[in-house]
Amino acid sequence: MAEGEDRNARGTVRTITDLARLAGVSPGTVSRALAGKSLVNAKTREKIEALARQHAFQPNQMASGLRRQKTGVIGVAIPLGHDTRQQISDSFFMTLLGHLADELTLQGYDLMLRRVVPEDDADWLERFIGSGMIDGVIVIGQSDQFDRIEDVADGYNAMVVWGNHQEGQRHCVVGTDNRLGGRLAAERLVAAGARRIAFLGDIGAMEFGARFAGAQDAAARLGLEPVMVLPTHLSPERASAEIAAHLTAQAGRIDGIFTATDTLAALCLTELRACGLAVPDGVRLVGFDDLPIARQTVPPLTTIRQDIAAGARALVDLLLRRLAGEKTESLILPPELIVRETA
């Protein structure tokens, strides 16, 4: 095995052993000095640190990880469910991911990202966890994988999920109170003059289903007719056509629309204009998320805000606590009605 020879070119300090030789101490001491714990003579430590800096030495994380049985990496999984492939650019998830990256970095963890297509790979979650590359996992969105996540949660503690909360569920979830959000949305539509409300989106997706249910609650309580569902995919290409079809089919039969996301609301606004329907005078519109786009539509969008940054912080905080052995509860964040000009 002559592998090592060329790799360790003259003078290169690649391993803790190289550094030990240079410092005239044993590898063990270098390890202790660099880890910053255990007792090490101050002078020895300084010398080693200086040498490490000088040679830009970094201990190999793989080796360290193998020995310590932890990797310093948190996995982030984005399941792409039935509505596959297009969530590619779903703004909400991507924004959440950005915040997660910042928060994990702050806590000294690296982030391993995996987008998974559950229908192609039923064991996506077990495989991610079992890879040995991650200390814990954050799942962004339950998609249609609620049951699978529940199954895994029984045997694996280091997991936190962004999504909807369900009575008695076993996995630890962080998410907005979607049902309450839906209620706020519907109430606002009504306050703005709507009487015949429709929900635009795919209620098969857990979170959307809860938003719809909340709207339904409000409608019932206010004595209105039930909220109508206008099933719509999330991908812009399909959504536009679907929305247009819905608007044509329901012409004159609805005067308030609650969309599952702001992205859909923006598209809906475009289609409403195309149909010659005035917003908010002819039709009131409320979105969900309060993404940056909500401020830029014409007119600006009334919507239900989710606090993404707080969500990311909570996800990381709960996960770290679980890594420390704690059994944490789920966290439900309050939605907030943001009134702009569409309702």
Under rule CB under 8 A, residue 298 binds a second copy: yes
Euclidean distance between CA atoms 102 and 23, whole angstroms = 36
Contacts of 153 (CB under 8 A, 6+ apart): 159, 170, 171, 172
Q: Which stretch binds DNA (CB under 7 A): 1-9, 144-152, 163-171, 215-223?
A: 1-9
For residue 192, the partner it binds in a second copy, DNA, none, with Cβ less than 5 to 8 A by kind, is: none
SS3 at position 68: helix
Shortest Cβ 42–a second copy spacing (Å): 25
What DSSP character marks residue 196? S
| Chain CA centroid to CA 61, Å | 26
Token code pair at residue 47: 């010398």
Under rule CB under 7 A, residue 241 binds DNA: no
Euclidean distance between CA atoms 256 and 191, whole angstroms = 11
Polymer length of the chain: 343
Residues in 17-76 that interact with DNA by CB under 7 A: 17, 24-29, 31-32, 34-35, 38-41, 43-45, 59-60, 63-64, 66-69
Q: Which stretch binds a second copy (CB under 8 A): 43-51, 94-102, 171-179, 315-323?
A: 94-102
Q: Which stretch binds a second copy (CB under 8 A): 17-25, 39-47, 107-115, 316-324?
A: 107-115
Euclidean distance between CA atoms 71 and 48, whole angstroms = 24
Q: Binding pattern to a second copy, positions 277-296, x when CB under 8 A?
A: ---------------xx-xx
Euclidean distance between CA atoms 123 and 70, whole angstroms = 22
**How much is the CA Rg of the chain, to the nearest whole Å?**
26
SS3 at position 34: helix
Q: Which is nearer to DNA, 34 or 268 (CB)?
A: 34
Q: Which is nearer to a second copy, 229 or 267 (CB)?
A: 267
Q: Which is nearer to a second copy, 54 or 89 (CB)?
A: 89
| Chain CA centroid to CA 100, Å | 8
Q: Pick the binder of a second copy from 105, 220, 241, 334 (CB under 8 A).
A: 105
Shortest Cβ 224–a second copy spacing (Å): 30
Tell me the torsion sign for CA atoms 121, 122, 126, 129: positive
Euclidean distance between CA atoms 146 and 163, whole angstroms = 9
Residues near a second copy (CB under 8 A) are 3, 56, 58-63, 65-66, 69, 71, 73, 76, 88-89, 91, 94-95, 97-99, 101-102, 105, 110-115, 123, 126-127, 130-133, 236, 266-267, 269-270, 273, 292-293, 295-298
Binding site for DNA (CB under 7 A): 1, 3-4, 7, 14-17, 24-29, 31-32, 34-35, 38-41, 43-45, 59-60, 63-64, 66-69
